[in-house]
Amino acid sequence: MALRGHASIQGSTDIPTLFDMLPGYLRMPAAEDDLQSLEAYNAAAGNPKGWWVNYPKYSISLLKAWFGEAATADNDFGFGHLPKISGNHVHFATMLRALDGGLDGLFLMGQNPAVGSQHAGLQRRALASLKWLVVRDLAEIESATFWRDSPEVTSGELNTQDIQTEVFLMPAASHVEKEGSFTNTQRLVQWRDKALEPPGDARSELWFMHHLGKRVRAHYAGSDRERDWPILNLTWDLPEHGERAEPDAEAVVKEVNGYVVATGEPVSGFAALADDGSTACGCWIYSGIYADGVNQARRREPGDIADPAGGWVSPEWAWAWPANRRILYNRASADPDGNPWSERKRFVWWDEEAGAWTGYDVPDFPLDKRPDYEAPDGALGMDAIAGSEPFSLNQDGRGSLFAPSGLADGPMPAHYEPIESPVANLLYPNMDTNPVALRWRRPDNPYHETEDPRYPIVATSFRLTEHHTAGGMSRKLPWLAELQPEMFVEIDPVLATDRGIVDGGWMVVMTARGEIEARARVTDRIRPLRVDRRRVHQVALPWHWGYSGPVRGDTTNDLGVLSGDPNVFIQESKAFSCNVRAGRRTGASTARLAGVHAGQHIAVDEDDVLAENPKETPPT
């Protein structure tokens, strides 16, 4: 599941939809770890110095939240039953696995890879290689209809009768038709109530996952196979209400907050979590969001706007993780002696009289640790953090301009050209592109070499105000569709004149992956670059259109190549090289994959090794 481009990206990382993390930035166990015990995992993932000394409290409380009574010290709290990652399971790698026949089924929840993902022609072929596919969305998006109307099917490259993918299209409730929360970039968790019932069969994600889980568990009831243990013992007991048996979303908040196992009472915060199985907590950094049995994220009290303690912070407006702190590491707003750096901007400071940290925000520091505290030799945990070192999650308590470890590249920033660029790297002539960027080298994912004369033009993609990502929420609405009705390419007048392209006329953009047609928007806004005494033209492409719905157009992502940045694996191909000409595309298909068969890996090289192995993910 990818929720990119949505309102709660922060939230979808905190309680992650990412393959390599557990809730609260705990490390996902990996199959190749040397030791598969909880103790070894905790030792490897935690740190002896700094706040992460508490790691076992959070991992064990998480296991208690998931496996309830079945999680005991004797069975490592069920740790051995957690799924283990065995490679790089990012979106691109997963779709390639599907293409090669290694994946039976897929859930798409709010994602439209047939339009919105790089190398969309390949993505559609991957969807066509699945046995089953569940699509949950507000409209019948291209990823649900590819088997009957994709360019590959229209052109005859693929035949509908040969596509065995069984597609289940499930209508989804919109954000006003369900309750829940958004976590913004400030880590502020804001609750919203449901305004109206979703129409027809549309349901919330919570309803869908809850009832799917119940049905799956019913299938497994009574099984005594060891591998079914996590399904049978998963706590899956949310209260339901109403005719539609909607699960209680606030019960999820309570589990996320954490509670005392013996009494069920919500804990006040992560400081109350224990590593002996006496507490359960779904996401330790969110602990406190349900303190006192109240959904703190639902608060709407702005406070006294005129008062710094009120309006600067508004501590009772919703709730921020961790511990309702609005600014992380806010001890840094005071100098090493604990006095505000700026009286005008005083925020958190040391009160000598009270012997405590105080301020407008919740201090992000042990309240009674004096600014002049020195860590004795050999100190561990928070004792190893001096009173003048605000960044207590780091072992040395200090912030870093450049991370000394944990990145696949760096630590110093460097300039590389994009993987596909019409110009060489002027800064490092011996290294045109990032050597540790992810590349999936295979016949159906061909790369343009640097300075490839066939592709002398820079292409960059962009978004329009009027449409939302792959268009599932906007292209189907006539009022939005009429505002930006057709795919276009912005191109400068020099290049247009050179290629005989006229404003409003048709033009074609070509890469090794495909060719798409679009209206030309000839504009002075797009300017040629001058690089190394050469003029380099660029074209800009919005990427919202697809092959179904009331307004249709070719898909920019049909041009792209699968690639990833080395750290979080986000597509590296925001800019790539291409060529353009006047006219319409030559064939019915936008993809150039006909005749390229799936599963033809070429020899594994070092890039492939990188692509197959998950990164090391130390806690951050």
Partner 1 sequence: MSTTTAAPTELAVHQVDARRMGFFTDTTTCIGCKACEVACKQWNDLPSDGAQFETGSYDHTGSLGASTWRHVRFVEMLDPAAGGPGSGHPGDLDLVQWAADGDGEGSGPGAGAGVGGPASTGVLGDNRWLFMSDVCKHCTNAGCLDACPTGALVRTEFETVIVQQDVCNGCGYCVPACPFGVIDRAPTDGRAAKCTLCYDRMEDGLEPACAKSCPTDSIQFGPYEELVDIAQRRVATLHERGETGAYLYGAGDEPGEELAGGLGAFFLLTQPPERYGLPAQAQSPVQENVAPATVAAISAGLLAAAGVALAFVSAAHGQGRAARLRRRRRW
Question: Which residues are near partner 1 by CB under 8 A?
Answer: 464-466, 478-486, 488, 492-494, 497, 503-504, 519, 521, 523-525, 527-528, 530, 533, 535, 550-551
Compare residues 550 and 599 and give the one whose CB is closer to partner 1.
Answer: 550
Compare residues 101 and 478 and give the one whose CB is closer to partner 1.
Answer: 478
Please, are residues 513 and 591 in contact by the beta-carbon 8 Å criterion?
yes
Please identify which residue in the block is written with the tokens 């407006």: 317
- Strands (DSSP E) along 448-582, which ranges? 457-462, 488-491, 506-510, 515-522, 529-531, 534-536, 538-542, 563-564, 575-582
Enter the tokens of residue 381. 């945990």
| In the complex, least distance from residue 422 CB atom to partner 1, rounded to whole angstroms | 17
Residue 42: closest CA among 28, 24, 55: 55
| In the complex, least distance from residue 534 CB atom to partner 1, rounded to whole angstroms | 10
| In the complex, least distance from residue 153 CB atom to partner 1, rounded to whole angstroms | 24
Please, are residues 266 and 254 in contact by the beta-carbon 8 Å criterion?
yes
Angle between helix 120-127 and 142-149 (nearest 10)? 80
Compare residues 130 and 526 and give the one whose CB is closer to partner 1.
Answer: 526
Compare residues 209 and 494 and give the one whose CB is closer to partner 1.
Answer: 494
Residue 458: closest CA among 401, 514, 417, 427: 417
Compare residues 308 and 504 and give the one whose CB is closer to partner 1.
Answer: 504
Phi, psi of 57 (to 5 degrees): -60, -40
Compare residues 527 and 601 and give the one whose CB is closer to partner 1.
Answer: 527
CA Rg value for the chain: 27
| In the complex, least distance from residue 521 CB atom to partner 1, rounded to whole angstroms | 7
| In the complex, least distance from residue 252 CB atom to partner 1, rounded to whole angstroms | 31
| In the complex, least distance from residue 238 CB atom to partner 1, rounded to whole angstroms | 35
What distance, in Å, lies between the first and last C-alpha atoms of the chain? 22
C-alpha pair distances (Å), 421 with each of 201, 319, 344, 459, 564: 48, 45, 48, 9, 15
Rounded CA-CA distance 110/469 in Å is 11
Compare residues 254 and 537 and give the one whose CB is closer to partner 1.
Answer: 537
DSSP-assigned states of every residue in 326-357 = SSTTGGGGB-TTSSBS-STT--EEEETTTTEE
Compare residues 289 and 551 and give the one whose CB is closer to partner 1.
Answer: 551
Compare residues 133 and 477 and give the one whose CB is closer to partner 1.
Answer: 477
| In the complex, least distance from residue 423 CB atom to partner 1, rounded to whole angstroms | 16
Neighbours of 18 (CB within 10 A): 17
Rounded CA-CA distance 218/458 in Å is 54
| In the complex, least distance from residue 528 CB atom to partner 1, rounded to whole angstroms | 7
| In the complex, least distance from residue 478 CB atom to partner 1, rounded to whole angstroms | 4
Please, are residues 130 and 98 in contact by the beta-carbon 8 Å criterion?
yes
| In the complex, least distance from residue 503 CB atom to partner 1, rounded to whole angstroms | 5
Compare residues 500 and 618 and give the one whose CB is closer to partner 1.
Answer: 500
| DSSP-based three-state secondary structure for 427 | coil
Which residues are bridge partners to 371 per DSSP?
A: none
